[in-house]
Structure 1
Amino acid sequence: MPRCPRALAIAVTAGLLLLAGCAGNLVVDSTVQSFSGLKALPATPTYRFDRLPLQHTQPAQEQVEALADQALFKAGLRRDDLAPVYSVEVSARVQRTLSPWADPWDSWGWGGAAYPWGGYWRHGYGYPYPRADYIWFQREVGVVVRELASKQVVFESRAANDGPWADHAVVIGAMFDAAMVGFPNPPPGLRYVNVEVIRPQAQAAAPAPERAPASAPSPTGR
């Protein structure tokens, strides 16, 4: 799950960070498993994005690919739709669930929500909206690389993460980075990868500024 560096206690962190935020950077820790049939990258490691049939109907797929493209670039791949060597399929799923530290007897209960990352409605008991400190997210991203000449899968990687952070784009971008760590020769087996990112200031909780009276001039005099 995403956590603040040097957190003293996971239980305390899970209950408070969603409400107050954490100054500084965010560490996204993911469980990663990868397969690679590549020994090395070619001189021109270009790729294009391919989509599964259902992904063509998902409005957020373009944003998912934009986040993945940054991770692919860091790993040494270059997007070139006109002369690709590889095709790449990427996916992202977000499901809101109940915090593992939630009180099952709390009268507020919890509800469900749909997310454009591929998540779906999850229903439970209680009121339509959960307590803020009970909100929890389970996320997974996937990357599949095929060699176009042979149509063979030459690389596959999946990263999973769970935690209270609601800024999905930041977390999913970091998860794609984690999925590509070690490319094209990642270590075998299940591993844990931490990626440190800067949390956007826009995510920090702050009261909205008061509107000036309609008759008051703007600072620019317009």
Structure 2
Amino acid sequence: MKKIPLDLAKYAQAALFFIAITLSGCASTRLIDTQVSSFTPHTVAAGASYRFERLPSQQADPAQAQLEALAQQALAKVGLKQADKAPLSVQVTAVQRQESNPYQNGMNIGIGLGWVFGNGSVSIGNRGALFPGLDTQPSYWRQVSLIMRDASQTVVFESHATHEGIWRDSTAILSAMLDAALQDFPHPPAGVRRVNIEIPR
């Protein structure tokens, strides 16, 4: 068996240590970066009550009840309360799709040491990736929308949030996205903005 030169072995150990630190540094939380656009044509009173309103296509969808439960938690955080006969109605929708394109985010790191870390893969020498399949893991695109209407069916608040990432646990991601969609409610800034929400890993 061919021995690895001492200097190269030290470099390899340092590289593996760097990789371990990098991967473990964000082990406790993850950042959900969301693009949000909100519209507030009318003011919503603080502490207002609301009820959920469903589209015909949502009536028989078993996932809608779970989505509304997540929305209820997010709405409670901004001071709104659910009530069956409330004049304010809230319509919440979510769209999700999975893309199986090769994962190309990241950057290559390596200084002639025979290892590469980045672009979704970790490799050493010519032995291939240490974690096969990591560079082709699927990406998940999601969008949530919240539309509020008053008793006259006039839209008083509208917000859309989109996120794309590698996380497959939709419940946690959608919850964070709903929080992002309601950030700074009832007076969010105009235009598209980026909202970062940290959640447990």
Fold in common (TM above 0.5): yes
On the 8 A contact 2:103/2:139 being kept in 1, the answer is: no
| Alignment equivalent of 2:52, drawn from 30, 49, 55 | 49
In structure 1, the residue matched to 2:40 is: 36
Q: Name structure 1 gaps, 5 residues minimum.
A: 1-11, 103-130, 200-222
On the 8 A contact 1:28/1:196 being kept in 2, the answer is: yes
Q: What is the CA–CA distance in structure 1 between the aligned matches of 2:178 and 2:93, rounded to whole Å?
A: 10
Summarize deviations over 1:43-72 as a string: whole Å, max 9, x none. x50000000000012110000000111111
User: Given residue 75 of structure 2, which amino acid in structure 1 is its aligned partner?
Assistant: L
**TM-score, structure 2 as length reference:** 0.69
User: Given residue 91 of structure 2, which amino acid in structure 1 is its aligned partner?
Assistant: E
> Are 2:180 and 1:175 equivalent residues in the alignment?
no
User: Given residue 33 of structure 2, which amino acid in structure 1 is its aligned partner?
Assistant: D
In structure 1, the residue matched to 2:90 is: 88
1:101 Cα deviation after fit: 2.9
1:100 Cα deviation after fit: 5.4
User: Given residue 175 of structure 1, which amino acid in structure 2 is its aligned partner?
Assistant: M
In structure 2, the residue matched to 1:155 is: 157
User: Given residue 30 of structure 2, which amino acid in structure 1 is its aligned partner?
Assistant: L
Identity of aligned residues (%): 41
> Are 2:80 and 1:77 equivalent residues in the alignment?
yes
* Higher relative strand content: 2
On the 8 A contact 1:38/1:184 being kept in 2, the answer is: no
Q: What is the CA–CA distance in structure 2 between the aligned matches of 1:100 and 1:142, rounded to whole Å?
A: 28
Q: What is the CA–CA distance in structure 1 between the aligned matches of 2:78 and 2:162, rounded to whole Å?
A: 19
1:75 Cα deviation after fit: 1.4
1:187 Cα deviation after fit: 0.4
User: Given residue 183 of structure 1, which amino acid in structure 2 is its aligned partner?
Assistant: F
On the 8 A contact 2:51/2:84 being kept in 1, the answer is: yes
> Are 2:148 and 1:138 equivalent residues in the alignment?
no
Secondary structure of 1:195's counterpart equals: strand
> Are 2:153 and 1:190 equivalent residues in the alignment?
no
State the aligned residue count: 152
On the 8 A contact 1:34/1:156 being kept in 2, the answer is: yes
Cα 1:100/1:178, change in 2 over 3 Å: farther
> Are 2:62 and 1:64 equivalent residues in the alignment?
no
Cα 1:96/1:89, change in 2 over 3 Å: same
* Higher relative helix content: 2
Q: What is the CA–CA distance in structure 1 between the aligned matches of 2:61 and 2:43, rounded to whole Å?
A: 34
**TM-score, structure 1 as length reference:** 0.63
Q: Name structure 2 gaps, 5 residues minimum.
A: 1-18, 105-132
Q: What is the CA–CA distance in structure 2 between the aligned matches of 1:40 and 1:78, rounded to whole Å?
A: 12
